[in-house]
Structure 1
């Protein structure tokens, strides 16, 4: 309504301005309007007018110019019309008409002449002159004057009647008048003036009836109305409750005395302060505003937004109809606002939820790359929104826009990072293209497959020896050392590169290396990758996959078991490279023993297989009563393993007790392999050995040139049953996808693109977000991630963090982890890292625990030496560490040659009985068992 009135006002002003321009333009056309007078303007002047108006593209014929200028004048706003007026005002030329002009009387004379024709009094004549003083002369007619005179006479009569009746007629001709009403209550008596109204009287009745008649009828009406109102007041007072719920006698008396003469409500109004005192008893009132017909009440409410566990407090506005509220208060009724609050809050919350839904959708569309859950998305929006609401639920467009802007600002960096991740994932999706040098070569792949003792690795190594340049990639440091020594013994210049040892020959044409140390930027003629079936290994398989894909060699020769065939074919097809497969047969027969071998029946040249360090040491003590024994297990250093193997090979010891560490590449004079058990813990579960594991270990018996035939059996029927079941079974094929892992260059690429210096975040990105086109998946780098979490706590560059996370760590050894963290701290502070040799109390260990400590000390040295090759300027005691490693290895060797180890209880350190199967004493077992039983009873 307000907008409509403003528009009407604007149009009125615009029309008034146009009217003035229309009048002024006539001055230049001899009183004629523009459309008529413009015909007398020449074509040249009209053309000049259009140029002045900035209109050039027009036909300059007189007919077209007139048509166009008339159209512009009729349709243009006052601005264009002003420009046209100013053009003619500039020349100040009058374009006179040739037609004779009609003679008009002046306006005042015309008004007076018309008034003379009417029967009007002097007062009426004055009103008429005032009414027509601004009307154009030609629009003033006798009919209009007669109509106006009739209206003037009606208004004069109304004014006369109002004076006589002591009241005022409203627009409906109902007379409003003041009456004195008598109030008697609570022993008080007073009169109160109130404004009352009569019935409605028609214009015709007032206009045509006699004054006395009208006055008599209206006076009678007034008396009836006053009498009825007095009865109403008396009844109202009579019905007031004796004990009022909300109003005291003083409140009632004051309200009636103070009530205005005229009010729209059915019941007397109450002051705002009095209403507030009544309302706040019923509601959690914040504020109150009294208006003519309603009471605006603000109360405190709470609302639990979706996906939130924190209630939002807000102000709820209640629009309460004043008339019904006053009725209930005066009648002393119980006030119940519950439904009002329920309806208002439901409406408010519904509006909020609808607006929130739209806002959430906009935020979701913007942040779609983040894949936020509903809960997380709402949580982020609320972070800014609830503060902006400022104690309300009014999620208006302005608040929504500001919240969306804040959300965009807070998520921008995350989204940019996700966009970079998506671009990076797309860039490196084809994993083979990350190895640029290998892809730039015309490579040939050759696969030597067959059982153990078939000559497949021997043949590959012979081809490596005759190549001009070559690489031998071994699964173990011990085998890399043997490969290096084999090359050197044949007169070939070679270097050895392992994680903790590098023997570099500047003239070397060949490199023997552990597979993880392959340099993808050194091209050679032949690269031999040994034990290729390891590509299926859960923890280290990535190293074989990376090497096969990226080894920069003209010919890549892979050696392994037959179950790797399908996997290598799939890999060659992905690479699009030539693959030759050469299959080998075992040279010596291998016989499975049909019955278990009793420990008393074990013969020399036998290897007994166990699957834990504890079992190896226990079996050593058991068989040391009968045989001289060598032991090999994974926790021993390569030097000790090599020395133990040498002792067995040279017949200094009669039998070998080992874990499956002997399964790869160790050529030993083993005649018989006996499994002490056929189960192992694989890092996740205890499980039975599978066919490939049994065949790989069994193949170490009866080596060609050392024994004519090999035998395989077990020390017990349980183990023999598992071995027998899998001995002739075809090994499970290695299947795709293959694990692959990022190297340092890949890590640097991810770090640069994502602007990320946290190695753990980069590794998680590589594992979780990389999808490859080929038969690959990102290796689950659990151990590397655990190391990355450690190094991320220090201020180091990404390359240093990567090298540290690849270090040979035993994460379960607190001793190793403590040493590792001290090395990282030194690198962060850029200070030298010294090595302090341990003090040994005797020449060998007397307990298994002392032996374990010595083994950890050797691992610490391995870690120190590994780091010294990468951070040579900080790890200065490499020579001392190597010397100490020799001392510790001899200490361990001496320990292993002892007949028995004293076993101690891991809880109380008490000495355990000889050959105890348990690592706690009987007393600790009973104590522990009793405690567990007691706890179980309490749970029950």
Structure 2
């Protein structure tokens, strides 16, 4: 806060330069209307009436309430303008500081020391230019008035109350039941006007107040005597002792008209008149809680609740002291009616909402109410207050309870309205006479090269890549051939208005742009658990005269089935590998690894360990999935151009990365596929192994392993035919599907809609709805925000790393800003040094790049809110260089799991020595235990 105030103070001083040393609030009045309008435009405020008086008022408010960033923007505007708006008023001469000016004016006034001291205190915080002799004279008159009152209070032993009556204590006599005692009571005279106190002679005014005090005492004594005389004996409610005790204990100062009775006695009397659960005595009221029962509408059920009766205490005291016959029945009936009418109104609103949910089920009034009561009675407090929170809970429980019945009713209607024949969801493709061509063959067979040549020769074309890296390579290849092309990926768009060709990631395909040739790369990905729907959609919906698919041989039957479903011509061209691929007979020891070798691992951790071990003898490049495409590309370039001799990679190199690899060595032949740890499939082994031996560089390609276990699995599967990909294919709910289901179910929960789609949607063709685990997980996050269904859908499609708390935190902050309709700025994180010291620091930098990818992806869908896209791109370059610098270090250290301190190289433990001593070493023999 101190820093913020200091910054604002500096801005306040700097703005005075442009207003002739006047503050902003004064100087802004001298700025012309036209300049004020330009200032609002510069601040991005357009919905302001261009009336000078209103603009000045609004700017003063902004200046006083805004954060320092808004003040800084206003200052920058006047710095750019450069003009000084001079004041026509002459400057005050001579110039005094506050103390000097106060002393100078006091010297002109006839005041004593006490008055001078009070004047100084009164003006101690007033700005010097606002201190005038007139104001000080006015204040002096008020001081005279206050001093006079204080003197009167001292001499007359009392105080002036807030209404300017005189409050004092007096001794009053009580005589009853042959007893007599005096009691001090606080009394008041009538109020005295300001003019009377100010203008009257002190002694005369003191005499008048003294006389008024005696009259007040006499009047009060007369009132007490009359009250005591009126008391009946025996009293209807109080014993003689209770009366005496109440009069003695009654407080000296009270606003009650009748003497206060002790809480114990009062509660005893009230309980004789009403059966109360609780009684509370407050200063002005009596709170009584009783049990009541409400018969619920359309039901035999009853609801017992607490009825709170708030009764004026003075009224109860009057009825007790004057021995009146009183009861609470009328009050109870009125409050009960008010309580129950309010509850029944709230209940009716709840019933109407639930009736809307259950409209298709045609419940009777009795059944509808009974279903609601089944939840309502569990939530209702004893106060009979049906709050909005309870309303929402009951409505949600009610809706959940009827979901199954609603689905049964709505399914027929939904399916009747949905285009069940999936191919007809792509009208442009269906309106063209398309030819399908399938290039199949192993890696290094030239199938993709041939397809790209046909794409280059076409007048217009589309290249659909499985990865952003390959989309970028496709774009650069087209541009290198002199072809005008655009690049479209989830987080990057390079658009050329003259473009005839588009290179795109497959999920970003535009089904409204028709072309001559569309190349769909790595078509065997149609069988992928998470992304296969994108290849199915592209094959069915690509609006191209010729659709060329490239992939491995095991996709052949699947594509034939698709062509039959579509009723379109299919040509299959099979390719052979251009050079042989040989499986090594024996495991390869680390000391026998040669240059131009790629070592394969299946986790980031294993890749970095292998990299450190091999860095002792080689320059090493690394490629794994968590690295950004830019870093993967740079690492591949270093290997391709001979800056490094060894490549350590995951199966991320299996897809489309053309590298001069002579030998592929598997460190393991098993992987975790997101569900279980399993051996590699033959198709996966061949896809990775096929990267060995590039045509024109190495005559043969060699495949082996670093250990017997991995080599055994390779030998068993190397010559096996990969499992054929068959039907049905996964397809994904489009936004149109989502909107349709949302409208029918009256449901704004994306998770519920996706689950409904997955479980219930049926198609005529060889398809079924994809079960998208990541999208479902994302939908659970977006459903907790107040957003429309289309926005939720786009957010749930964003590229997320759900295992990274860093990414999820950023994702949720972006969604929160969208919910509030606020701009989303990119805030670059700070980096320590020019490269990471530990693998944890490297992982955090990798997550930072993924955060930028997420930001840029969202910026293309919500460009009005994500305003820092260029800044994010620039910082992605900084992070990529940081990661590249890190990967070129020979070794990274692990960090302590408890305190994050670096561990010694090749440490066998997960924590440092200090944490071990602190957490795992205890006094006494046998108390030391090792961390797991």
Q: TM-score, normalised by structure 1?
A: 0.55
Identify the match of residue 480 of structure 2 among 489, 494, 505: 489
Structure 2: distance between partners of 1:710 and 1:696: 13
Larger-Rg structure: 1
Identify the match of residue 873 of structure 1 among 864, 867, 882: 864
- Pair 1:378–1:731, CA change in 2 (3 A): farther
**Are 1:633 and 2:624 counterparts?**
yes
Contact 2:838 2:902 survives alignment (8 Å): no
Partner of 1:543: 534
**Are 1:438 and 2:429 counterparts?**
yes
Identify the match of residue 773 of structure 2 among 778, 782, 785: 782
- Pair 1:789–1:912, CA change in 2 (3 A): same
Identify the match of residue 543 of structure 2 among 547, 552, 555: 552
**Are 1:565 and 2:537 counterparts?**
no
Structure 1: distance between partners of 2:895 and 2:375: 64
Partner of 1:422: 412
**Are 1:759 and 2:750 counterparts?**
yes
Structure 2: distance between partners of 1:667 and 1:769: 43
| Aligned positions of 1:115-126 closer than 5 A | none
Contact 1:446 1:558 survives alignment (8 Å): yes
Residue 557 of structure 1: SS of its match in structure 2?
A: strand
Residue 445 of structure 1: SS of its match in structure 2?
A: strand
Compare 763-772 and 595-604 and name the one that shifted more. Answer: 763-772
* Structure 1: 5+ residue stretches without partners: 1-310, 314-366, 389-407
Q: CA deviation at 1:428?
A: 2.9
Q: Deviations over 1:682-710 (max 9, x none)?
A: 00001000100000000001011222111
Contact 1:533 1:560 survives alignment (8 Å): yes
Structure 1: distance between partners of 2:536 and 2:466: 13
- Pair 1:918–1:719, CA change in 2 (3 A): farther
Partner of 1:342: none
**Are 1:692 and 2:692 counterparts?**
no
Q: Deviations over 1:638-695 (max 9, x none)?
A: 0000000000000000100000000000000000000000110000001000100000
- Pair 1:412–1:447, CA change in 2 (3 A): same
Structure 1: distance between partners of 2:811 and 2:627: 19
Residue 902 of structure 1: SS of its match in structure 2?
A: coil
Q: CA deviation at 1:419?
A: 3.8
Partner of 1:841: 832
Structure 1: distance between partners of 2:911 and 2:669: 25
Q: CA deviation at 1:915?
A: 3.6
**Are 1:650 and 2:612 counterparts?**
no
Structure 1: distance between partners of 2:606 and 2:642: 23
Partner of 1:598: 589
Contact 1:369 1:415 survives alignment (8 Å): no
- Pair 1:769–1:386, CA change in 2 (3 A): closer
Identify the match of residue 903 of structure 1 among 894, 911, 923: 894
| Aligned positions of 1:660-699 closer than 5 A | 660-699=651-690
Structure 2: distance between partners of 1:668 and 1:558: 22
Partner of 1:813: 804
Contact 2:670 2:678 survives alignment (8 Å): yes
Structure 2: distance between partners of 1:930 and 1:572: 69
Q: CA deviation at 1:887?
A: 0.5
Residue 452 of structure 1: SS of its match in structure 2?
A: coil
Contact 1:468 1:525 survives alignment (8 Å): yes
Partner of 2:510: 519
Compare 713-722 and 566-575 and name the one that shifted more. Answer: 566-575
Partner of 1:801: 792
Q: CA deviation at 1:526?
A: 1.0
Partner of 1:459: 450
Partner of 1:853: 844
Contact 1:629 1:657 survives alignment (8 Å): yes
**Are 1:722 and 2:713 counterparts?**
yes
Partner of 1:480: 471
- Pair 1:442–1:369, CA change in 2 (3 A): farther
- Pair 1:720–1:926, CA change in 2 (3 A): farther
**Are 1:615 and 2:606 counterparts?**
yes
Q: CA deviation at 1:926?
A: 12
Q: CA deviation at 1:579?
A: 1.0
Q: CA deviation at 1:786?
A: 1.0
Structure 1: distance between partners of 2:429 and 2:461: 15
- Pair 1:590–1:505, CA change in 2 (3 A): same
Structure 2: distance between partners of 1:492 and 1:603: 40
Provide the alpha-carbon RMSD of the alignment: 3.4
- Pair 1:738–1:923, CA change in 2 (3 A): farther
**Are 1:823 and 2:814 counterparts?**
yes
Structure 2: distance between partners of 1:900 and 1:464: 44
- Pair 1:872–1:834, CA change in 2 (3 A): same
Task: Give the length in aligned residue pairs.
Answer: 551
**Are 1:530 and 2:507 counterparts?**
no
Q: CA deviation at 1:416?
A: 6.1
Structure 2: distance between partners of 1:693 and 1:506: 40
Contact 1:515 1:544 survives alignment (8 Å): yes
Residue 735 of structure 1: SS of its match in structure 2?
A: coil
| Aligned positions of 1:339-488 closer than 5 A | 418-426=408-416, 427-488=418-479
Contact 1:312 1:386 survives alignment (8 Å): no
Structure 2: distance between partners of 1:562 and 1:780: 26
Partner of 2:495: 504
Structure 1: distance between partners of 2:812 and 2:534: 26
| Aligned positions of 1:26-425 closer than 5 A | 418-425=408-415
Structure 2: distance between partners of 1:658 and 1:487: 28
Structure 1: distance between partners of 2:516 and 2:863: 31
Q: Deviations over 1:356-409 (max 9, x none)?
A: xxxxxxxxxxx9999x9xxxx999977679999xxxxxxxxxxxxxxxxxxx99
Q: CA deviation at 1:488?
A: 0.5
Structure 1: distance between partners of 2:919 and 2:527: 42
Structure 1: distance between partners of 2:400 and 2:706: 67
